[in-house]
Amino acid sequence: MSRPRALITGAGSGLGRALAHRYARAGYDIAVAELLTERAKTVVDELAAHGGSHFAVEVDVGDDASVEAMRDTVRAHWDGFDVLINNAGVASAGSIADSSLDDWRWVTNIDLFGVVRGMKAFAPMFQTQRRGHVLSTASFAGIAGAPGIASYGVAKAGVVALSEALRGEMALFDVKVSVICPIFFKTNLLETARSPNAKFIGVAAKLMDNAKESADDIADYVFKAQQRGDFMIIPTTTERIRWRVKRWFPELYFRELMKLARKTMARSG
């Protein structure tokens, strides 16, 4: 019996790397897609401990031709696969008044259009094989409506809406779709983050440092939720409660959000 297969973008570090290890432990062969080839190769070497056959593929999800080249490389290795995780992304912060349009274009091109490119590249394959699961990493920022991260939140909200649309389209072909909405956790996402004010990055860094969950914790929750067939995957209990409060009591949610925002900004100095 052949092993299941998963393609994960941004799998050279952070959540992508943790997901690669979690799926490999579960018996999947992994295509480690990453902008930095050496990182991808390092993860492939690590995955050898789990058995199976894994390979690295270079991709810049912000570039049409690069995603198409990734698709062709994957096709050369596999005649199809089971799980696509559009995980690659970047971070941005800053107020709407202060953030540059260049930063908006940068984060939406990678975080939103990068997912569009991944979906478009492989949607025909999933439709033809009439099986599989497409997951995309958004963020609780795409749900929260929090101040100070509008460009990032809008890009991630787009991933949620995009996943909802794809879910409806793929249901006709028996293909499942999920969207992952984690809150801050320990990762290296801020390595390339952009902001007009270093204070916003500092706030994010503190929230990451104080997070109880690691990338491995998030990956484990995502794997189990994907196996259950969940659509909206919110890995942390507090955020699952906040999501429900926002849906049922939006004004209460907003008041509590602003209390938390003021407290967080005050602590950051």
Please, which residues have CB within 8 angstroms of residue 192's CB and are 6 or more apart in sequence?
Answer: 90, 91
Annotated catalytic residue, options 28, 152, 221, 253: 152
DSSP H helices in the chain: 14-25, 37-47, 64-77, 101-107, 113-129, 141-144, 150-171, 198-209, 215-228, 237-248, 250-267
In whole angstroms, what is the distance from residue 182 CA to residue 233 CA?
A: 8
Which pairs from 67-73 meet CB under 8 Å and 24+ separation?
67/114, 67/117, 67/118, 67/121, 68/121, 70/9, 70/33, 70/121, 71/121, 71/122
pLDDT tens string 88-107: 999 888 889 999 999 999 99
The set of residues, in sequence order, having a beta carbon less than 8 Å from that of 160 and lying 6+ positions away, is: 138, 142, 143, 179, 181
pLDDT of residue 209 exceeding 80: no
Strand partners, 134: 84, 177
Q: Which of 8-12, 41-45, 47-51, 181-185 has the lowest mean pLDDT?
A: 181-185
Q: What is the mean pLDDT of residues 77-86?
A: 97
**How many whole angstroms separate alpha carbon 26 and alpha carbon 215?**
17
Ramachandran angles phi, psi of 139, nearest 5°: -175, 155
pLDDT of 25 over the 90 cut? yes
| pLDDT one-digit tens code per residue, 104-141 | 999 999 999 999 999 999 999 999 999 999 999 999 99
Q: Is 28 a residue of the active site?
A: no
Cβ neighbours of 197 (radius 10 Å): 14
pTM: predicted TM-score of the whole model, two decimal places: 0.91
